[in-house]
């Protein structure tokens, strides 16, 4: 009896590590990794975030060291979040030159030099006592246009502090145009905007709430997108590009790879993805139980996001991953 012999043998190109390396379609490089970081006001020591093992709310000192480590690892940038001591209804800490995020930005810019791009989250939720991404009207609804005024002021404070890329994550209508106008009118025409263009109302932001000590009750569904909608993601991306976004982002990453692939296929500007806190927590938790191989899962998850079309990825593993792939 003669054995059946297939005509096509894709396995030929999988036979050795060297061959697999040669034919790999997607490669990871440190320059396309961006590290999100939390800096806590008034803290002498870094404070661990229990739902994100390995991630901390930095003290100024540990923050400096982490910036130096990130630069040494060759990653492309850092995305900064502030954890203020005091919060209020309008998020006044966000526009205060001495507010924690603006202080951290100055430190990062000084520490990083030209080694990486210092980026800042432009949103009010870390700074408001109610935890929403904007200011509220008399009915408790997030007031879109009043919030835009706050974002304009926040943008100027961040640009003045030395932020090299403003990450607009609040999902207010018209936020890119409003911030672009404010920057252009104040001598910051060369400060670029990263628009969190397709940002979904996701359960995967859960650990982030602990990271920034958010007091949010309820959810963000009146401004972040419904996870059911793919077409709506495309609309948000188109609007942000038309309003002047220099880079667009899809967020979260792993549950929205279709939206990411759509965006990558149509966008004339770079497309990034944010592997968010819950995605990090899931892999860390499973790995801690010995249920998955930690390093392989991390590499595969980021590779998958790149393969789907992200030009760069925000990930809490950026520095560690850069060390592996360098």
Q: Which residues bind ligand PBG (CB under 6 A)?
A: 121, 123, 125, 133, 169, 205, 208, 220, 276-277
The answer to whether 295 is annotated as binding is no
Comparing CB distances to ligand PBG, the nearer of 107 and 194 is 194
Does 236 count as an annotated binding residue?
A: yes
The separation between the first and the last C-alpha atoms of the chain, rounded to the nearest angstrom, is: 51
Smallest separation (angstroms) from ligand PBG to the CB of 3: 52
* Pairwise CA distance, residues 134 & 56, whole Å: 25
220 is annotated as contributing to ligand binding? yes
Q: Is 209 annotated as a binding residue?
A: yes
d(CA 127, CA 238): 29
Q: Which is nearer to ligand PBG, 115 or 255 (CB)?
A: 255
- In angstroms, give the least distance from the CB of 47 to ligand PBG: 17
Q: Which of 148, 199, 234, 313 is labelled catalytic? A: 199
Residue 9 labeled ligand binder = no
The nearer residue to ligand PBG, 237 or 249, going by C-beta atoms, is: 249
Q: Could you tell me the smallest distance in angstroms from the CB atom of residue 285 to ligand PBG?
A: 15
Least distance from ligand PBG to the Cβ atom of residue 114, Å: 26
Judged by beta carbon, residue 76 or residue 91, the one nearer ligand PBG is: 91
Q: Is 87 a catalytic residue?
A: no
In angstroms, give the least distance from the CB of 141 to ligand PBG: 17
Cβ-based neighbour number of residue 222 at 10 Å: 12
Q: Active site residue: 87, 150, 180, 251, which one?
A: 251
Q: Please, which residue, 62 or 169, has the CB nearer to ligand PBG?
A: 169
Residues placed in the known binding site for Mg(2+):
236
Report the binding-site residues for 5-aminolevulinate: 209, 220, 277, 316
> Annotated active-site positions, please?
199, 251
The annotation places the binding site at 209, 220, 236, 277, 316
């Amino acid at each position: 009896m003669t054995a059946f012999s297939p005509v096509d043998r894709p396995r030929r190109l999988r036979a050795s590590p060297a061959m697999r390396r040669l034919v790999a379609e997607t490669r990871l490089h440190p320059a396309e990794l961006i590290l999100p970081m939390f800096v806590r006001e008034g803290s002498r020591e870094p404070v661990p975030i229990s739902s994100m093992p390995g991630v901390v709310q930095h003290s100024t000192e540990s923050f400096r060291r982490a910036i130096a480590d990130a630069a040494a690892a060759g990653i492309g940038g850092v995305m900064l979040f502030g954890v203020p001591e005091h919060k209020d209804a309008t998020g006044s800490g966000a526009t205060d030159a001495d507010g924690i995020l603006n202080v951290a930005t100055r430190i990062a810019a000084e520490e990083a030099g030209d080694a990486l791009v210092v980026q800042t989250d432009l949103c009010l939720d870390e700074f408001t006592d109610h935890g929403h991404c904007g200011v509220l009207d008399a009915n408790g609804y997030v007031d879109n246009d009043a919030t835009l005024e706050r974002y304009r002021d926040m943008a100027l404070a961040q640009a003045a502090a030395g932020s090299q890329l403003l990450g607009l994550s609040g999902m207010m209508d018209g936020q890119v145009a409003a911030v672009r106008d404010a920057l252009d009118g104040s001598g910051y025409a060369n400060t670029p905007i990263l628009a969190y263009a397709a940002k979904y109302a996701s359960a995967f932001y859960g650990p982030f709430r602990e990271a920034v000590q958010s007091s949010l009750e309820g959810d963000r569904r009146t401004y972040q997108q419904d996870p059911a909608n793919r077409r709506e993601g495309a609309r948000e991306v188109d609007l942000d590009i038309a309003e002047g976004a220099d880079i667009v982002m899809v967020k979260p990453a792993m549950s929205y790879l279709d939206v990411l692939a759509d965006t990558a296929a149509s966008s004339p500007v770079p497309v990034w993805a944010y592997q968010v806190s819950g995605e990090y927590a899931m892999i860390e938790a499973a790995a801690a139980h010995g249920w998955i191989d930690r390093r392989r899962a991390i590499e595969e998850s980021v590779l998958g996001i790149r393969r789907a079309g992200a030009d760069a990825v925000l990930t809490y593993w950026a520095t560690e991953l850069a060390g592996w792939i360098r």
